[in-house]
Chain A
Amino acid sequence: MTGVPDSPVEKLADQLFRRESGRMTAILLGRFGPAAVDDVEDIVQESLLRACRTWPWKGIPDNPAGWLWRVAERLALDRLRRSDRTGTDVMLSEVGDQWIPVDLLVADEELRLLFLCCDPVNGPETSVPLTLRLACGFSTREIAAALLLDEATAAQRISRGKARLRKLGAVEVTALPGGDVAERLRPVLNTLYLLFNGGYGGNDQSRWIREELCVEATRLSLVLTRNPTTATPEVHALAALFHLLTARLPARQVVGELVDLEHQDRGLWDGRLIGTGLRHLGRSKGASAPTVWHLLAGIAAEHALAARWADTDWQSILNYYDQLVLISDDPVVALNRSVAVAQVSGPEAGLSAVPDGAALQEYHLFHATRARYLRDLGRLAEADVALDLAIHLAPNEAVRRHLKRQAPTRL
């Protein structure tokens, strides 16, 4: 009865405060320069806080974003006047009076903020928390919880990122990234993918789905698709992937238990997100060569289009995986390919397609996947051993329970 929507699609539509927090941060940073990041954060926080302290009495205004903006504008002007008087804050006093936000400007500034947060100089361990902070309005505590860091570490990474931001001259961010857009986009896309995977992965110790990360990564991918400069086929492919995977979240966790793709109730998949994902996939064509995102989105789309697990077009999926292993050296990709191989050519072929080597020895799904092929081949003793290893390596209780339900000889 909280009035807070539950489904991912509603969350996408309803993250007003996170979205406006990111937008206001983006615009104000564009105006005042990255050096003013602390002032900007204060203004944004204060604007949201005033809404939080006023709306419960007055009701939610017709144009909530506009309301927030008017407050932010007033606070920023107050600060300007104060800094003019004391003369201590040159940076703010240099701003002219024409900074009132224009809708058209918002998209550019949001984009610029993303590029700032994901600047390659940061590296993912800083760019992910910094993006969550500045573009999504996450508190330090929320970032720590989402990224499974302790609060001190999260705080440290955020302040490190902000320190780098302050050093960036305003000049470097006055224009959208020029030159090779695909090249400049790469760290941004990688950051968003890490953000998404952090939520979707299911490989973490405590909570195994952190839906808010998936939702935020999806929202930010749309910031990229909406701007003509950055709406490259690759970006549409990433947006497609995010939508198609997020669509499955309602079926992936049922009363606290992990449900794998084969056993998910596909009726719970979110049809609107699938539709949006497929539209982005359509617009992802035209790349000179398919990227990792194209191929992963293609696989996700095959699953989305199959009404039942039994209807899955495994040959198409295998074709995607065959291309994927050529451009990705991720052993998990090779492991996932073996599933498609097994579906097309049987468990013997699947088992042979499992990548060997040390890289996956500590990965529970490596052993769980092998266990499954061994079971299907009737080699139950070996399957038991592999499954025990998988259970032993399981990163959390939900995954452990899920694996135990698959025990071949102990059902």
Chain B
Amino acid sequence: MGQFMLLLHDDATDDAELSAAEMQEIIARYRAWSQKWRESGHLTGGEKLTDDPGRIIRSGASGQGMIVSDGPYSETKDVIGGYFLIIADDYAAAETIARGCPHAERGKPIEIRQIQTMD
């Protein structure tokens, strides 16, 4: 049993042409998915990240101190749009949950990472 993070890679421009009914349908599918796994105790949390590229901070050349720039995604449309936290037996079980997520069903990538425990 472990804790996993589902990182939802997203390209916001994909959604620009969706119709009103399609958007409502997408929300309904997310609701069904999250309700199912929340009730079963597998889905424990999640947050949406804003669609801007964010910031990245790294140390510059010697003597320059820290440099802050636009986030790692400024050059690409692909961003981490949000994440879900789930509890699953192993990667295979986590995959099963992620596979049914409307995000994946719509052809968008989900990165699955296990959270390191202390022991």
- By the criterion CB–CB under 8 Å, are A139 and B32 in contact? no
A17 and B21 in contact (CB under 8 A), knowing A49-B15, A57-B82, A60-B31?
yes
Query: Binary interface profile of A, 188-228, with partner B (CB < 8 Å = 1, else 0)?
Result: 00000000000000000000000010000000000000000
Query: Binary interface profile of A, 25-48, with partner B (CB < 8 Å = 1, else 0)?
Result: 000000000000000000001001
Most chain B CB neighbours (cut-off 10 Å) among A18, A49, A51, A56: A56
Of B12, B17, B21, B29, the contact of A3 (CB 8 Å cutoff): B29
> Which residues on B are within 8 Å of A, measured CB to CB?
12, 15-32, 34, 46-48, 51, 81-82, 102
Q: Which A residues touch B47, using CB under 8 A?
A: 57
Q: Complex: how many Å from CA A54 to CA B15?
A: 13
Q: Complex: how many Å from CA A256 to CA B21?
A: 23
- By the criterion CB–CB under 8 Å, are A2 and B32 in contact? yes
Q: Complex: how many Å from CA A188 to CA B21?
A: 23
- By the criterion CB–CB under 8 Å, are B31 and A142 in contact? no
Looking at the assembled complex, report how far the CB atom of B29 sits from the nearest CB atom of chain A, in whole angstroms. 5
Confirm or deny: A138 has a beta carbon within 8 angstroms of a beta carbon on chain B.
yes
Looking at the assembled complex, report how far the CB atom of A28 sits from the nearest CB atom of chain B, in whole angstroms. 15
- By the criterion CB–CB under 8 Å, are A49 and B23 in contact? yes
Query: Binary interface profile of A, 154-173, with partner B (CB < 8 Å = 1, else 0)?
Result: 00000000000000000000
Q: Complex: how many Å from CA A139 to CA B23?
A: 11
Q: Complex: how many Å from CA A53 to CA B81?
A: 9
A-B contact pairs, 6 of them (CB 8 A): A1-B32, A18-B21, A49-B18, A53-B48, A60-B27, A136-B20
Looking at the assembled complex, report how far the CB atom of A5 sits from the nearest CB atom of chain B, in whole angstroms. 9
Q: Which B residues touch A99, using CB under 8 A?
A: none
- By the criterion CB–CB under 8 Å, are A56 and B31 in contact? yes
Q: Which of A81-136 contact B (CB under 8 A)?
A: 136
Q: Which B residues touch A4, using CB under 8 A?
A: 25, 28
- By the criterion CB–CB under 8 Å, are A142 and B29 in contact? no
Q: Which A residues touch B21, using CB under 8 A?
A: 15, 17-18, 137-138, 142, 212
- By the criterion CB–CB under 8 Å, are A21 and B48 in contact? no
A52 and B26 in contact (CB under 8 A), knowing A138-B20, A212-B21?
yes
Of A3, A15, A16, A17, the contact of B32 (CB 8 Å cutoff): A3
Q: Which B residues touch A16, using CB under 8 A?
A: 24
Q: Which A residues touch B102, using CB under 8 A?
A: 56
Q: Complex: how many Å from CA A4 to CA B26?
A: 10
Q: Is the interface of A mostly helix, strand, loop or mixed?
A: helix
Q: Which residue of B lies closest to A56 (CB)?
A: B30
Q: Which residue of B lies closest to A46 (CB)?
A: B16
A-B pairs with lowest CB-CB distance, top 10: A137-B20, A56-B30, A139-B19, A17-B20, A17-B24, A52-B23, A57-B48, A21-B20, A3-B28, A3-B32
**Additional A-B contacts beyond A49-B15, A56-B34 (4; CB < 8 A):** A3-B32, A17-B20, A49-B23, A137-B19
Q: Which B residues touch A212, using CB under 8 A?
A: 21
Q: Complex: how many Å from CA A57 to CA B27?
A: 10
Looking at the assembled complex, report how far the CB atom of B7 sits from the nearest CB atom of chain A, in whole angstroms. 13
- By the criterion CB–CB under 8 Å, are B26 and A139 in contact? no
Looking at the assembled complex, report how far the CB atom of B6 sits from the nearest CB atom of chain A, in whole angstroms. 12
Q: Complex: how many Å from CA A30 to CA B75?
A: 39
Looking at the assembled complex, report how far the CB atom of B45 sits from the nearest CB atom of chain A, in whole angstroms. 10
Q: Which residue of B lies closest to A141 (CB)?
A: B19
Q: Complex: how many Å from CA A51 to CA B20?
A: 11
Q: Which residue of A lies closest to B83 (CB)?
A: A57
Q: Complex: how many Å from CA A138 to CA B18?
A: 9
Confirm or deny: A309 has a beta carbon within 8 angstroms of a beta carbon on chain B.
no
Q: Which A residues touch B24, using CB under 8 A?
A: 14-18
Q: Which A residues touch B16, using CB under 8 A?
A: 45, 49
Q: Which residue of B lies closest to A20 (CB)?
A: B20
Q: Which residue of A lies closest to B26 (CB)?
A: A52
Confirm or deny: A58 has a beta carbon within 8 angstroms of a beta carbon on chain B.
yes
- By the criterion CB–CB under 8 Å, are A48 and B48 in contact? no
Q: Which residue of A lies closest to B49 (CB)?
A: A57
Looking at the assembled complex, report how far the CB atom of A181 sits from the nearest CB atom of chain B, in whole angstroms. 30
Looking at the assembled complex, report how far the CB atom of A22 sits from the nearest CB atom of chain B, in whole angstroms. 9
Q: Complex: how many Å from CA A59 to CA B48?
A: 11
